[in-house]
């Protein structure tokens, strides 16, 4: 921490200070270089790179199947959504067809994961501003979701359940019934969250007019997701470029106009309600049939086939030792993650490993706006702004 003790004539005496990288309100290992004039923020510069994950280079050293586990850990609040984006890119290289049941099930899993992510965001951002009860309530619902994911896959968070070619396994009727029970209970719980926050004068004072992002600035900086929609731009890849059968679903794209922390809150709460509707539709339209493609260049044989077929065993062995071998080419697929456009760019040279493995991560683009919207506010406002941007540093430091 340094102080300019001898300012030039006509200039301000400002304080330069670090917030982080271990600050409790940074939602990850993030460092902010702040220049302060008293309590007012003169400039705010995000400094990234403290995680050193190296996920992209690691992906290029693994087979296509092995790299699925990396996608879970990139945005640890959207693991199934990351799986989906990666699987769609691989499937685009192979030009393989995914069964209808797997497509609809993927929508269900992606929306349940969106609910999970927004619950964590809502609870932690409210906690940052002193609303402790909301954190306890949202994590109560999240625990139910994690239990469902564990029952489905054996893992609470890093499920790796959506894979190139379909799903790791089918969804049982008992599990689907538990999901419906959870969805039936959730709208009243969202009402409880809003009763605590939406008209709360303290919450509104901390968020209305704070961190205002104009639509033209958001577009110029490549912002996407709820942050962009809170600034009045109704862009959502599920509508603009549907994937995995989203074109069959009916839902609204919530937007707001002020682009401040409060509007970003309102948009995400509205998205929680829309995700509940999408999940109900997925449960209602989920067809019978397989959840794995018949293209044996992509999906290995099932465990049942291995019990009685030597050819299936050999095929399984070759796919897992040599890896998938998509034809030479490149593919990019973007999906709407809870934070915005998440895209995977994969370049294949025909071998069992990707020649280039790259992500378009929404948090990386969204985080830069803090340099634009934090100056002019108070230090306390920086906490609210970071929370409203919902950055995940795992997908920033790739």
Q: Rounded to the nearest 10 degrees, what angle do helices 261-285 and 379-389 cross at?
A: 20
Give me the residue label for tokens 């760019």: 345
Classify residue 314 by burial, with Cβ atoms within 10 Å: 0-12, 13-18, 19+.
Answer: exposed
Distance of CA 95 to the CA centre of its chain: 26
Predicted local confidence at residue 69, as pLDDT: 94
What pLDDT, in 10s, does the model give residues 302-354? Answer: 888 888 888 888 888 888 888 899 999 999 999 999 999 999 999 999 999 99
**By the 8 A CB rule, do 26 and 35 touch?**
no
**CB-based contact 375:17 (threshold 8 Å):** no
CB–CB of 348/326 below 8 Å?
A: yes
Spans of the chain, pLDDT less than 50: 1-6, 9
248: DSSP letter: G
Contact 369, 218 (CB under 8 A): yes
pLDDT at 186: 97
Q: Tokens 């929609």 map to which residue?
A: 229
As a whole number of angstroms, the distance between CA 272 and CA 278 comes to 10
Torsion of CA 376, 382, 385, 389, to 10 degrees: 120
Q: What are phi and psi of 67, to 5 degrees?
A: -70, -15
Backbone angles phi, psi at 145, to 5 degrees: -65, -45
Rounded Cα distance, 249 and 265, in Å: 24
Cβ neighbourhood burial of 321 (10 Å; 0-12, 13-18, 19+): exposed
> Could you report the per-residue pLDDT of 120-166, keeping only the tens digit for each?
999 999 999 999 999 999 999 999 999 999 999 999 999 999 999 99
Predicted pLDDT of residue 11 = 60
Residues 296, 344: Cα–Cα separation, whole Å: 23
Beta 356-360 vs 40-47: how paired, if at all? unpaired
Residue 49 in contact with residue 28, Cβ under 8 Å? Answer: no
Residues 6+ apart with CB under 8 A from 103: 244, 245
pLDDT at 3: 45
Preceding peptide of 54 cis, ω within 30° = no
Task: Find out whether 207 and 214 touch, Cβ atoms under 8 Å.
Answer: no
């Amino acid at each position: 921490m340094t102080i300019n003790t001898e300012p030039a004539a006509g200039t301000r005496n400002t304080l330069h200070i670090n917030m982080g990288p271990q600050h409790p309100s940074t939602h990850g290992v993030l460092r902010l270089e702040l220049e302060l004039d008293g309590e007012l923020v003169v400039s705010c510069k995000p400094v990234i790179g403290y995680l050193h994950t190296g996920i992209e280079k690691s992906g290029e050293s693994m087979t296509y199947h092995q790299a699925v586990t990396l996608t879970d850990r990139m945005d640890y609040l959207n693991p199934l959504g990351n799986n989906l984006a990666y699987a769609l890119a691989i499937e685009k290289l192979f030009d393989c067809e995914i069964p209808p049941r797997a497509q609809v099930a993927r929508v269900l899993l992606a929306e349940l994961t969106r609910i999970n992510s927004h619950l964590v965001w809502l609870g932690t951002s409210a906690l940052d501003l002193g609303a402790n009860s909301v954190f306890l309530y949202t994590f109560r619902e999240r625990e139910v979701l994690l239990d469902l994911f564990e029952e489905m896959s054996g893992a609470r968070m890093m499920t790796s359940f959506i894979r190139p070619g379909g799903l790791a396994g089918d969804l049982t009727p008992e599990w689907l019934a538990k999901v419906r029970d959870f969805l039936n209970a959730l709208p009243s719980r969202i009402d409880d969250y809003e009763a605590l926050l939406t008209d709360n004068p303290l919450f509104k004072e901390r968020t209305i007019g704070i961190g205002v992002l104009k639509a033209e600035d958001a577009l110029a900086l490549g912002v996407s997701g709820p942050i962009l929609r809170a600034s009045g731009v109704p862009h959502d890849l599920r509508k603009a470029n549907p994937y995995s059968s989203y074109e069959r679903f009916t839902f609204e794209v919530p937007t707001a106009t002020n682009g401040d922390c409060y509007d970003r809150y309102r948009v995400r709460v509205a998205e929680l309600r829309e995700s509940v509707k999408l999940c109900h539709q997925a449960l209602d339209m989920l067809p019978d049939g397989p959840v794995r493609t018949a293209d044996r260049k992509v999906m290995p044989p099932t465990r049942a086939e291995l019990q009685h077929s030597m050819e299936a065993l050999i095929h399984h062995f070759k796919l897992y030792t040599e890896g998938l071998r998509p034809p030479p080419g490149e593919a990019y697929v973007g999906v709407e993650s809870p934070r915005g456009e998440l895209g995977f760019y994969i370049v294949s040279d025909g071998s069992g490993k990707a020649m280039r493995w790259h992500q378009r991560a929404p948090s990386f683009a969204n985080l830069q706006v803090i340099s634009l919207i934090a100056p002019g506010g108070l230090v306390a406002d920086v906490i609210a702004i970071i929370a409203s941007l919902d950055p995940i540093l795992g997908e920033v430091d790739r």
